[in-house]
Structure 1
Amino acid sequence: MGAITPGNRRHATYDLWKVTRPVGAALAGAVTVLVLVALIGASGHVALGDTDPGAFVRFSAALVRLTADGAGALTVGGLVYAVFMAPARRDGVLKAEGYAGLRIATHAAVAWFAAAAAMVVLDVADASGQPLSEMDIPRLVGGFTALETPKAWAISAALVLIVLIACRIVLTWLSCAALTLIALFALLPPVVAGHASAGAGHDIATDAAIWHVTAAAVWVGTLVVHVSRGQQYKSKYNVISLICFGVLAISGALEGLVLTPWRDLLTSYGLLLLAKVVILAALAMFIRRALWAQVLVMAVGIGVSVGMARQPPPGFFAAQTPMDTLIGHDISAAPSVWDFFAAWRFSLIFGTVAILLVIGYLLGVRALRGRGDHWPVGRTIAWLLGCLVVLLATSSGVGRYGPGVFSVHMVTHMALNMLAPVLLVLGAPVTLALRALSPNQGPREWLLAVLHSKVSRVLTNPLVACILLVGSYYALYLTGLFDQAVRWHWAHLLMNTHFLLTGYLFYWVVIGVDPGPRRPPYLGRLAMLFAVMPFHGFFGVIIMSTQDVIAENFYRSLAVPWIGDLLADQRLGGGIAWASGEIPVLVVVIALLVQWSRSDEREARRHDRNPESEDELAAYNAMLAKLSDIRR
């Protein structure tokens, strides 16, 4: 396929009618399930003791939720098709086939935005048990303020609007990749605010739901676009479908076990869960063949998922302690030092990512050694230790007690922000990937495009990297933001992600081995490090000296029995923040001095090998400067 021209723009646009065939088939299968949803919808309100808003609100909410889920999957699928399946030109501009996927995503985003916006109103009416005819502005605003799911739909609608507007403008691969991330993120607010966010085990259920919804959207969306576009990239689609199937199976099983005990499988929610198991088994039979059958089966699966969203899971009716409600698990027993290493609660997000990063890195090292190339053992050890720190900080006893104890939370913060990034940066993963990946096969070119992008140049600016690292400490803990965020598991996921990424970005600028768009001289890097450290230490002093308990209402509601004095625990956390920078800074200074010394040695050897050329070059530059002066 060639470049995008007015002719193939029209072809990509007019050819969109082909996508209506798989979409129409999917809707036919999903709408049949909505009949079941409408019939059993009232039982959810009865079980919770809520007022039934009426059949119209129940059916409308189910239909609009189905539209939002389906349109969201199709938007993601169109973007994934444009980014990962259809090849782009060497200059990064989409070819006509990729542009067709982008146009499909644009049209689907219109329906997604409309459905998400409508769900804000319908969810308020449904949760408050009021027909739409009785909803006025004060009641709508009051319900929106009091409920979390309408806020989630509003956030989702805002993100979808960004995707929709940008899809009409962008034409490059890198821009589409950024939109894909935003679209995937837009799927999650209603998920993390839904059934998975409440009750015992909600931390595990939320993590599993994030994996589940992401994999389902990617698979369903790419399947529909793949079928509508003539199945041109079968091998790439097969890889995507196999990965998504594995993620769906594992995450669905974990979420189901948390929300539905075995004894409750014959409830309405349990029967819908069993239906999803049957659907997943049917999809296993049709993988890599019978794509139209996959479309129909997945459509029924989306309908069943909407039905499950209309029913309270059995776990809602189990006895809940404050710890179950607020953090999802019990931490009433005082931990020993050994418990911080042995009392594991595996993080399905960070633990899984850490393991995948280890596997991917080792495969890259194996690929290099398989063709006789050398890779320093020290870099491998640094990467493995960095991944181990991420795993321990989020999945060991530290990760278990961190959400409910401020001092332990600060251990997680500093491990992810100060220690793990140093080790990961020294592992040079970008250099390894560039050497291990074959050219002209996609991933290597994607990585180079990200490295040379304008966003990378901005983020690697020393001033930006310093502000993101240190400024987030003060913005999070001293403005009341942490008081609001500490109540939600999804907020802990965002905080940990922010800690890790900002730390990695800062130390990538200071001691990074990987190539980057902006790298200050070694003296500037050393000055950058010493400029940041006082602000880090001063933050710890502020936390130790303050007389107000941060997030006091949350920690008092949690009532951890072995934390007698919340202010003393907070001061301990401040001391941990103050002292935790010592060892990472020492490692960074040693690494920076070693890199500086080796750079000088390489420069000296280069000069020794060819001193005459260096002198000639200096003389030539002096001549050019003299000529320039004469011209002036």
Structure 2
Amino acid sequence: MKVDRTVALAAVGSVSCVVVVVLWAAGDVYAALGDSDPGRLTSLAFGLVRTLANAAATVTVGALAFGAFVVPAPPKRTRLTAHAYAAVRTAATAATVWCCASGAAIVLSAADASGQSFAVALEHLGGLVDAAEEPKAWICSAVAAAVVAVGARATLTWTTSVLWLVPALAGVLAPVIAGHVANGAWHDVATNAMVWHVPAAAVWIGSLVALRTHLRRPGGGTEVVLQRYRRLTGWCLVVVVLSGAVAGAVLTGPSGMHGGYAVLLLLKAFVCAAVLVLRARWRRPLAAELVAVGLALGASAGLTHLVPPAWSRTRPSPQETVLGYELPDPPSLTEIVLGWRFDLVLGLGAVLLAVAYVVAVRTLLRRGDAWPFGRTAAWLLGCAVVLVATSSGVGRYAAGMFSTHMVAHMSLNMLAPVLLVLGGPLTLALRVLPAGPRQWVTALMHCRAARLFTHPAVAAATFVGSFYVLYFSDLFGAAMRFHWAHQLMNLHFLVSGYVFFWLVIGVDRAPRTLPHLARLGLVFSVMPFHAFFGVILMNKQTVIAEYSYRTLGLTWMPDLLTDQRLGGGIAWATGEIPMLVVVLALLRQWAVADRREAVRFDRATDTGHDDRLDAYNAMLAELSGRKN
């Protein structure tokens, strides 16, 4: 216990020293941006509080991941084991600290952004929060931490502990994607890189803390736990290195590897290299690894305070400020086909899912099992649609033109999900994965949250209702200003479409199975709403998100209303045609199912067995027994 306390103090000391030295030596970093200096004391307090919040958030995410995916769980994934429950309680305690630190960061970030002292910022907190984005992000972080702190403390089941990772990851990402990576040219690439970087770093560092706590308990030092920990954190370390390199390259620029910012980036790179060496020489995690990650956390906190070198060399244009890149020319066939800007979130995700699917199919075929070629083709085409809609010229122009945005929207919401659900990925996973991960998939498929979101009424309302809520309110105009909001919209389109079509024509067995007649009725119930949406857009007399589009200053597209009406026509056409294809596919599945049932009935009759007749006779026998 004494050794662990010494290690913990060394890790905390390394974090604090790096933060204090960086913030004190940096001086006035606000003048370069034309902002007011809130004072050395406010900057130092914000840096330390931000570091505490990030560290607590990291432990929360890592402990939840450790309890769910590292500690051996019961065969049926029902109740948590004692060791998994201890990890979840560690996450709950860390989330409480995270919530308190995020609450303090709300005021300090408002003071830092406005150049005011803490007392003045506290007095005018409402107006300052409304004027800046980072305080809003810390509010989201505090709310997420509070939800996790309360929920994790009351959690006793494995599936619930996994589900708490969703708000935890959202909370740990919020201050990052609203920070300095969300500004300047190429901020779309930097933000996408941090979406990979931050969760991977949180799982790596937080699970290290959870593991050291786990090893002190009786029966905690099992070989299975160490193997799972090394496998999980090894992949996380790879993601941290690659994504950190991309974000660092964007923020430093082609010739920006000098000064304090470059020193901190090199410090993080040195830490990752040192951890790799430690892992190669020793199987068990050492105290030095915990101290090293403390240095990495301190360096990350210092980087958020310093001005990225790329900002001081060029002044971004209005298009670069909003989009991260420029659209100097109107869309042409050449620009759409060749003008790619690779999306590191959805585009890369589509590529990884396609590769994983092909590897799984090859594993199945090598084992001598069959897998329909049509399912493979459907899945790969669906991944290709996602890649093209987010990373080709369609994805580039979707952020600046409503008509192109509608092409991407309908591709992600209507076309890609239809193809993906026909690929049967869950069935393939259950046939290929080993026992542990297979039980994870099965448990998540049958949990209450899955049954809730796959309820026909919920799935249909989310699938259709989001069209009207997003575009006929101020939500779309507000989302146009932020890259992370674009990504969240695209993810919502894809997931809501996948869940709906999973219920209708999905190959995988859904948590809620519907008869074919109910599926057909579900399709017909949403078709009119798609048609009405397109018609309303074509006849609307005001421009949706007009201010956001005017801000971009696209001189080659002066008539926004005409472009919006074109988008309405695209929504109408690309909404109805895929629905008709879905109806035909559903009718075919219905006919095949009836044919199989008829064949099964004929075989049972030929052998002298009739399940329905046996059930009828059993019912008569039961009624006769009751009368006697």
TM-score scaled by structure 2? 0.94
CA shift in 2, pair 1:527/1:579, >3 Å = same
The aligned counterpart of 1:302 is 297
Query: Once the two structures are superposed, what CA deviation does each residue of 1:463-510 show, in whole Å capped at 9, x if it has no partner?
Result: 211111000000000011101111110101110110000000000000
Question: For residues 136-535 of structure 1, what are the structure 2 equivalents within 5 Å?
Answer: 136-137=122-123, 139-230=124-215, 231-232=221-222, 233-288=225-280, 289=282, 291-317=286-312, 318-439=314-435, 442-535=436-529
CA shift in 2, pair 1:19/1:149, >3 Å = farther
Tell me how far 1:337 sits from its aligned partner. 1.6
Tell me how far 1:535 sits from its aligned partner. 0.5
The aligned counterpart of 1:5 is none
Partner secondary structure for residue 326 of structure 2: coil
Tell me how far 1:350 sits from its aligned partner. 0.5
- Mapped to 1, the partners of 2:586 and 2:121 lie a distance apart of 63
Tell me how far 1:43 sits from its aligned partner. 2.8
- Mapped to 2, the partners of 1:556 and 1:258 lie a distance apart of 27
Partner secondary structure for residue 331 of structure 2: coil
Tell me how far 1:447 sits from its aligned partner. 0.9
Query: Once the two structures are superposed, what CA deviation does each residue of 1:418-475 show, in whole Å capped at 9, x if it has no partner?
Result: 0000000000111111111233xx2111111112112222222222111110000000
Report if the CA contact (8 A) 1:199-1:316 is conserved.
yes
Report if the CA contact (8 A) 1:283-1:297 is conserved.
yes
Task: Choose 18-27 or 270-279, whichever is displaced more.
Answer: 18-27
Report if the CA contact (8 A) 1:22-1:224 is conserved.
no
Counting matched residue pairs gives 613
Tell me how far 1:622 sits from its aligned partner. 4.8
Query: Once the two structures are superposed, what CA deviation does each residue of 1:21-41 show, in whole Å capped at 9, x if it has no partner?
Result: 543332021111122123134
Tell me how far 1:624 sits from its aligned partner. 5.5
Query: Once the two structures are superposed, what CA deviation does each residue of 1:45-64 show, in whole Å capped at 9, x if it has no partner?
Result: 23223332222212111111
Tell me how far 1:369 sits from its aligned partner. 1.1
Deviating above 4 A after TM superposition, structure 1's stretches of 4 or more consecutive aligned residues are 17-22, 624-631
- Mapped to 2, the partners of 1:212 and 1:168 lie a distance apart of 27
The aligned counterpart of 1:104 is 90
Task: Indicate the RMSD between aligned Cα atoms, in angstroms.
Answer: 1.8
- Mapped to 1, the partners of 2:533 and 2:119 lie a distance apart of 53
CA shift in 2, pair 1:578/1:32, >3 Å = same
Which residues of structure 2 form unaligned runs of 5+? 216-220
- Mapped to 1, the partners of 2:72 and 2:349 lie a distance apart of 27
AA at the equivalent of 1:280: C
CA shift in 2, pair 1:505/1:627, >3 Å = farther
The aligned counterpart of 1:87 is 72
- Mapped to 2, the partners of 1:268 and 1:610 lie a distance apart of 79
Report if the CA contact (8 A) 1:18-1:229 is conserved.
no
Which residues of structure 1 form unaligned runs of 5+? 1-14
Query: Once the two structures are superposed, what CA deviation does each residue of 1:45-90 show, in whole Å capped at 9, x if it has no partner?
Result: 2322333222221211111111111111111111111100012223
Report if the CA contact (8 A) 1:22-1:227 is conserved.
no
CA shift in 2, pair 1:517/1:18, >3 Å = farther
Tell me how far 1:353 sits from its aligned partner. 0.8
- Mapped to 2, the partners of 1:620 and 1:325 lie a distance apart of 75
- Mapped to 2, the partners of 1:107 and 1:462 lie a distance apart of 37
AA at the equivalent of 1:409: H
The aligned counterpart of 1:56 is 41
- Mapped to 2, the partners of 1:291 and 1:213 lie a distance apart of 23
- Mapped to 2, the partners of 1:114 and 1:357 lie a distance apart of 38
Query: Once the two structures are superposed, what CA deviation does each residue of 1:117-148 show, in whole Å capped at 9, x if it has no partner?
Result: 100011111222222244442x2222111111
Task: Choose 390-399 or 89-98, whichever is displaced more.
Answer: 89-98
Partner secondary structure for residue 613 of structure 1: coil
Tell me how far 1:294 sits from its aligned partner. 1.6
CA shift in 2, pair 1:134/1:608, >3 Å = closer
Partner secondary structure for residue 185 of structure 2: coil
Tell me how far 1:315 sits from its aligned partner. 2.4
- Mapped to 1, the partners of 2:625 and 2:189 lie a distance apart of 68
Whether 1:548 and 2:542 are equivalent positions in the alignment is yes
